Structure formats: structure tokens, C-alpha cells
Amino acid sequence: MTAHIIDGKEIAAGLSQSVAAAVKRVTMAHGIEPGLAVVLVGDNPASEIYVRSKTAKTAAVNMRSLFYKLPATASEAELLDLIERLNQDPSVHGILVQLPLPPQIDQRKVIEAIAPLKDVDGFHPLTAGLLSTGLPGIVPCTPLACIMLAKKVHGSLAGLEAVVIGRSNIVGKPLAQLLLMENATVTIAHSKTQDLPDVSRRGDIVFAAVGQPEMVRGDWVKQGATVIDVGINRVQTGDGKSRIVGDVAYDEVAEVAGAITPVPGGVGPMTIACLMLNTLKAACAQNELPAPEVTA
Ligand code: NDP
């Protein structure tokens, strides 16, 4: 069997187009131009790439893109001061601080300083609390992207066995909450899980969000299962070059899975499209407008 490849780029392009049209409608009807402020601290090359693609995509969907760069030596107080100014600025509807931050800055304090209504990444504890109690609020971008991709394959996720490998606050945990809301039966695995391959083989859908290159092997996956690979790992290729691989051994797993996301070109582009969607939703919520109608 060779798996169907879930084309995250194409699905993200469809979602972005729908978001761009909805932004135009909101701007024309209400004079509101949704604005996303992206903050980068320091010169981490991977972060620079992520930030560039986020700001380019913001402009491409007709939203206002603001970019703030602080030096690697910036103090926590400087960053908190910038966030407070962005919190108070009514033309800024979403604030994203690119992680990781330099060691002198407490990441938790920074996340908690972002006004929850502008927390388009969905990392604030209040946002996490709303999600875990099933109340409406912003849904973190990567877990939302994973759900949208899985639903492209399955339509409904109700009753399916979903295995989430990884329990971080930004991917694994919120993804598990969303799967519960979709009525899947959810198993969350992590570094202390016993016999992980066996646990993984339970999944009708397996989500890998681990940060370990190609950890999920072909014999970890049930025949015909859907595999969503969140991982982004840079590995050396031996000729002095490097390439990006996921948490899934793609070639092996594609032989047994029914559907699989590639890396790159799977969850990554969809995450950015979901960030645009979240910014538009945040702009609507801040202006007491109904949630926009958008399709993926
Ligand atoms: P974290 O490092 O925060 O969490 C990793 C999780 O994986 C932890 O829960 C950890 O378990 C678990 N884990 C680590 N090693 C193993 C192992 N050997 N066996 C089983 N479980 C293990 O990572 P993130 O959640 O932030 O990110 C995960 C991956 O997703 C990374 O590659 C990251 O780059 C990528 N990512 C991609 C995004 C995208 O847009 N495509 C967005 C965000 C992240 P424990 O809790 O027990 O330590």
C-alpha cells in the first residue's frame, strides 16, 4: 500500500484564500483592517525564517503586518513593555512572540503578558483553560491545523482511536483536547510511555509531535491508519548539508499508512494559515462582530 499524501500546502492555500476573502468583507463592511504584530528577539536563524513567512502571509491575506525585532540582549522588561504597548494599540488584533526566547527572558511571563483576546498563538493559560473546558476561544494554530488535516481525510473523527505522541502545552495537550471535542477516543503518549510502538499501533490516526527525527517507524503504524507528522527537525546529510525531516520515517510509514502528511509541506503551511484565521477571528471578537465564515 502507498499512502495518500495529504497536501498541506494545497489545503493551506485554500484556507488562506478563504481567509483573504473574509478579511476583505470585514474591512469593507466595518472599516476594520485586521493587524498581526510579530515580535522576534535575537537572531535565531530558524526563527528568522518562521517570522519571515508569517509576515509575508499576513500581507498576502490582506491584513496589516507589523514586525518588531529586539536584540538578543534585550531585557525582559523591554519585551514586556513592547507587549503592553501592543496590547493597548486598537489597530493590533493579534500578537505573536516568536519562541524560543533568549535565556534572560522568562517565556512564561511573556506569554501571560499578552492580552488573551490578542493571543493568536493560543498559548495563554486562560486560552488553554477555555479550550480544556470546551468554552469558545482561540484555538492554538498547530493543533487546529492537525485537526483540519485529519478531517480532510476522515470527515468526522467521532469514534476513531487517536494516538497523540507528545504532551507539550503548545501541541500535544491542546491537540488531545480538540480530539476529545471531536469525539475521538484519545491516547496521549510521551517519553515515559511503555511500549510506544504498541500504543501507536492502536491509532486509526497517529499524531507525532515529539521533536525526534523519524522516530515513528513503519511497524508502529496500523495498516491504513492516517499519520499526521508535526515534527520539524533539521538533520545533517553527511555532505556538509542539512535537510528537514519530521518525527515520522516517511518512506517506511507511507508503505503502511492510508494517508500521511509530508515534512515539509504538511502541518507547517497549515499552521501559518491557521494563524491568519486566528488573527481574523480575534479582530472580529475585539470588535464584537460575529465569527467570520471561512472554509478550508
Ligand atoms: P516539546 O519538546 O515541547 O515536547 C515534546 C514531547 O514529545 C514531550 O511531551 C516529550 O515527552 C515527548 N517525547 C520526547 N521524546 C520522546 C520519546 N523518545 N518518546 C516519546 N515521547 C517523547 O516539543 P513541541 O511539542 O513544542 O514540538 C514537537 C515537534 O513539533 C518539534 O519537532 C517541533 O519543531 C514541531 N513543531 C512544529 C510546528 C509546525 O508548525 N509544524 C509547530 C510547533 C512545533 P515528555 O513530556 O515526557 O518529556
DSSP states of the chain as a string? --PEE--HHHHHHHHHHHHHHHHHHHHHHH----EEEEEEES--HHHHHHHHHHHHHHHHTT-EEEEEEE-TT--HHHHHHHHHHHHH-TT--EEEEPSP--TTS-HHHHHHHS-GGG-TT--SHHHHHHHHTT-S----HHHHHHHHHHHHHHS--TT-EEEEE---TTTHHHHHHHHHHTT-EEEEE-TT-SSHHHHHHT-SEEEE-S--TT-B-GGGS-TT-EEEE---EEEE-SSS-EEEE-SB-HHHHHTT-SEE--SSSSHHHHHHHHHHHHHHHHHHHHTTPPPP----
pLDDT at 39 over 80: yes
Q: Which of 57, 118, 121, 229 is catalytic?
A: 121
| Choice from 108, 170, 190, 198 to test ligand 1 binding pocket (greatest atom count within 8 A of CB) | 190
Domain boundaries along the sequence of the chain: 31-115, 141-268
What pLDDT does residue 238 have? 85
pLDDT at 268 over 90: yes
Q: What is the mean pLDDT of the chain?
A: 97
Confidence label for 1 from pLDDT (cuts 50, 70 and 90) = low
Same fold, 31-115 and 141-268: yes
Over the stretch 91-113, which tens digit does the pLDDT of each residue have? 999 999 999 999 999 999 999 99
Candidates 3.30.70.2470, 1.10.20.10, 3.40.1190.20, 3.40.50.10860; correct CATH number of 31-115?
Answer: 3.40.50.10860
pTM of the model: 0.97
Question: Which of 191-195, 222-226, 290-294 shows the lowest mean pLDDT across its residues?
Answer: 290-294
To the query of whether residue 104 is one of the catalytic residues in this protein, the response is no
Candidates 3.40.47.10, 3.90.228.20, 3.40.50.720, 3.40.50.2300; correct CATH number of 141-268?
Answer: 3.40.50.720
| Choice from 230, 271, 274 to test ligand 1 binding pocket (greatest atom count within 8 A of CB) | 230
